[in-house]
Chains A and B, each alone.
Chain A
């Protein structure tokens, strides 16, 4: 079974430029998550989708971040414009169901963003 796929793996941009990350979850997984992981820290949830609906985007900085999950499968996360403080690893995860208590989240390898 293929795991969660993310691209690109690495991205270097100058500040104020836009950037987009793509995630393909495990086939059949209804729930998709985007996390931000700063160096030396644990992941922090940005947004959670159940199918195509964003059910928790309370931690997403909506002035510059946006996300979409068209057709309830692939998802993209965009930053426009990027700031120096956005340098981090962006992780995508998926789970089959919607229960945090019982559904294991499977993580992709992440996209490491460097903003210069």
Chain B
């Protein structure tokens, strides 16, 4: 089952604009991660934010986490055509109350950056 849900499902912007994607999740987490997946390729880890952190930056990426709302956002500033990809959030959550923790991914946001 999917733990995270990204919003929007698809986003189309012009090069140079900022792109914001949101992720909501259901259960308590230790950390939340964002991944990028180019068409036909594997996932690439972008950034990890821990549950006791509220904001984190990496280059043109800014991630926020609001544990009270169980939500996170990924902001990509000054977007480029090469940023075109699907973006997934992933949380490390206990599997249905059992003892197995695993990374659970959302359905992703498809970002298209038009040149």
Contact = CB atoms under 8 A, between A and B. Distances in A.
Q: How large is the interface on A (under 10, 10 to 19, 20 to 34, 35 or more residues)?
A: 20 to 34
Contact of A101 (B30, B100, B105): B30
B107 A91 contact: no
A85 interface: no
A42 B30 contact: no
Nearest to A44: B105
B45 A106 contact: yes
A48 B90 CA distance: 16
A72 interface: no
Nearest to B51: A101
A116 B48 CA distance: 39
A56 B100 contact: yes
A17 interface: no
A2 interface: no
A101 B93 CA distance: 10
Interface stretch (B11-19, B36-44, B67-75, B76-84): B36-44
Given A100-B92, A107-B44, A110-B42, A45 B107 contact: no
Interface string B1-38: 01010000000000000000000000000110001000
B31 A101 contact: yes
A55 B43 CA distance: 22
A43 B48 CA distance: 17
Contact of A105 (B30, B41, B103, B108): B103
